Amino acid sequence: MAAAAALLAVAGQASANGIGVTEVSTEGLGRANSGEVADTGASALFWNPAAIARGGRGATLGVHHRNDDTEFSNTSTTITRPIPPAGLTLPVGGRSPVDEVSQDFTAPHFAVAVPFGDRFAVGLSVHKPIRLKTDFGADSWARYDTIRSKIETTEIQTAAAIQATEWLDLGVGFTANYTDAYYDQASPNLNPTAPDGLQALAGDGWNYGFTLGAQAHLERVTLGVAYRSKVKHELDGSITLSGLQAPLDTANFTAEADTNFTTRSTVTVGARFALTDATTLNGQVVWSGWDVYDTIDVAFAGMTASIPQGFKNTTSVAVGVDHDLNTMWTIRGGVQFDPTPTHDDLREPGVFDSDRWVFAAGASARLQPALTLNGAVAYTRFDDAPLVDFDVFYAGTPAQTTVPTRGAFKGDAFTASMSLDWQF
C-alpha cells in the first residue's frame, strides 16, 4: 500500500507545478508562459482552443531539453522496529546528500491548425506536459520513501474554434492522456542487519478531459481566458513485495493493482497589449484547483484504501515582453512565479517540489514569409524546502515499523527549446 500511495503521489506532484513540463511551446517558454492564453496560432493551442480561430493554416514542431540540478540531504530520519522491550530506534543510514536525482529529459511538441471557410478552424496538438524520472539509489537515506520513480504523460488534444463575432473567438477541445509510471521503494526487515526488501509498482492508463476557451480581439489588446477540466486518472498495473525475511517472508506477493486519483482543473486569464507597433506586453494568471487531489484510492488483493494528500489551490503569475527588432528578428523575455501546492509538513523526497521562479529569454527569426525558427532558454530556481513524511510499514500488525523521514531539498533547472513554425 505504501508503494501504491507513493507512485500516485509522484503522478499528482509531477502534474502539479514543480518538476512538471509546464513549457509547451518555444515561444511561450521564451516569455515565461506569459500571455499564451491570448496568443494566436497552432503554437498556443495547448493553452487555449480559441487560439486557432483566426491564426490561419499552420503547424509547429519543436523540442525541449531540460537539465535538473537537485540535492537531497538527510536531517534526522530514523527507523523504529518493534524490538522488545520498547522498540529499537536507529538513524537511517545511507548516502547523504544525494544529488543528480532527477534525470535530464527531452520532450517534443507538435501542433497543427487548419481553417474551414472564413470563420471555423480545427486543430490537433501533442505534448508531454508531465515527465519526471528519478533515481535515488537503493543505498540512499531516502530509500524507505523512494528508490526510483518514473511518470510520463503524453497528451493529445483535438480542438475546434469559431470567430463568433468580428472581435470574439470561441473554442473547445478534447484531451486524451496516456500515462506510464513505475515506482520502487525499500521495505525494512525486522532484523536491522538484514538487507531491505523491495516494493515495486508499475501502471499505465488513458484518461480524458476537455478544454474551453475564448479570446477578445480589441484595437490594441487581445484578452484570453481558458478552462482546463480536472481529470480522473485510473492506472492499471501490478504491485510486488519481495525480499522480506522471516518472520515477514509470508508477506511477499505479487498482485494486480488499480489506482484512482483526480488532478487539478485550471482557469487561465491573460492579455497581450501592443504598446507600440514593435513592442507587445504580456501577462498571465493561472489558478489551479488542486484541492480535488485530496486522496488516492488504491485497490489490490481484495483490499481498498484511501491515502490522504491534502494539496492546496495555487495561483501563478507571469509577465513578459516581445519586441520586433526588424522584419526578420523578434526577441522576447519574461518572469514567472509558480507556487507549490504541497505543504511544508508533508513533502516526500519522491514528490519533491517547492515555490519556484522562472526567468526566460528567446528569439524568433523569419527565415521566409511562411517559415519561422524559434529558440528559447529558461532558468528555474526552486526555493529551499523541507522534506517531511511519516512512512508506516506493516501497519496494525506486531511487526509495525515506522520511518519518520526528515530532510531538505534544493535545486534549480535549465531548459532549452527550439521549434519551427510553418504557415502553409
Please provide the average confidence, as pLDDT, over all residues in the chain.
Answer: 90
Q: Which residues contact 384 (CB under 8 A, 6 or more apart)?
A: 354, 408, 409, 410
3-state secondary structure the chain: CHHHHHHHHHHHHHCCCCCCCCCCCHHHHHCCCCCHHHCCCHHHCCCCHHHHCCCCCEEEEEEEEEEEEEEEEECCCEEEECCCCCCEEEECCCECCEECCECCEEEEEEEEEEEECCCEEEEEEEEEEEEEEEECCCCECCCCCCCEEEEEEEEEEEEEEEECCCCEEEEEEEEEEEEEEEEEEEECCCCCCCCCEEEEEEEEEEEEEEEEEEEEECCCEEEEEEEECCEEEEEEEEEEEECCCCCCHHHCEEEEEEEEEEECCEEEEEEEEECCCCEEEEEEEEEECHHHCCEEEEEECCEEEEEECCCCCEEEEEEEEEEECCCCEEEEEEEEEECCCCECCEECHHHCCCCEEEEEEEEEEEEECCEEEEEEEEEEEEEEEEEEEEEEECCCCCCCEEEEEEEEEEEEEEEEEEEEEEEC
pTM here is: 0.89
Angle CA 159–163–165, to nearest 5: 150
Which residue in this structure is represented by grid cell 523526497? 349
Task: Judge whether residue 16 has pLDDT over 70.
Answer: no
pLDDT value for 129: 81
pLDDT value for 14: 44
The domain at 2-423 falls in which architecture?
Answer: Beta Barrel (2.40)
Mean pLDDT, range 172-199, rounded to an integer: 94
Task: Judge whether residue 185 has pLDDT over 70.
Answer: yes
pLDDT confidence band for 21 (50 / 70 / 90):
low
- Identify the weakest region by mean pLDDT among 26-40, 106-120, 235-249, 291-305: 291-305
- Identify the weakest region by mean pLDDT among 189-193, 257-261, 331-335: 257-261
Q: What is the pLDDT of residues 260-303, one digit of tens each?
A: 878 789 999 999 999 999 999 999 999 999 888 777 777 888 88
Round to whole Å and give the CA distance between 200 and 353.
23
With beta carbons less than 8 A apart as the criterion, state whether 236 and 8 touch. Answer: no
**Percentage of the chain exceeding pLDDT 70:** 93
Task: Judge whether residue 172 has pLDDT over 90.
Answer: yes
Q: What is the pLDDT of residues 308-355, one digit of tens each?
A: 677 889 999 999 999 999 999 999 999 999 998 887 877 878 767 789
**Percentage of the chain exceeding pLDDT 90:** 68
Structure-model confidence comparison of residues 416 and 308, the more confident one: 416
Structure-model confidence comparison of residues 402 and 390, the more confident one: 402
Q: What is the pLDDT of residues 63-115, one digit of tens each?
A: 999 888 889 999 999 999 999 888 999 999 999 999 988 878 888 999 999 99
Q: Phi, psi at residue 67, to the nearest 5°?
A: -120, 120
What are the extents of the domains in the chain?
Answer: 2-423
Mean pLDDT, range 398-418, rounded to an integer: 94
pLDDT confidence band for 17 (50 / 70 / 90):
low
Task: Judge whether residue 3 has pLDDT over 50.
Answer: no
Tell me whether strands 279-288 and 314-324 are parallel, antiparallel or unpaired.
antiparallel
Structure-model confidence comparison of residues 68 and 38, the more confident one: 38
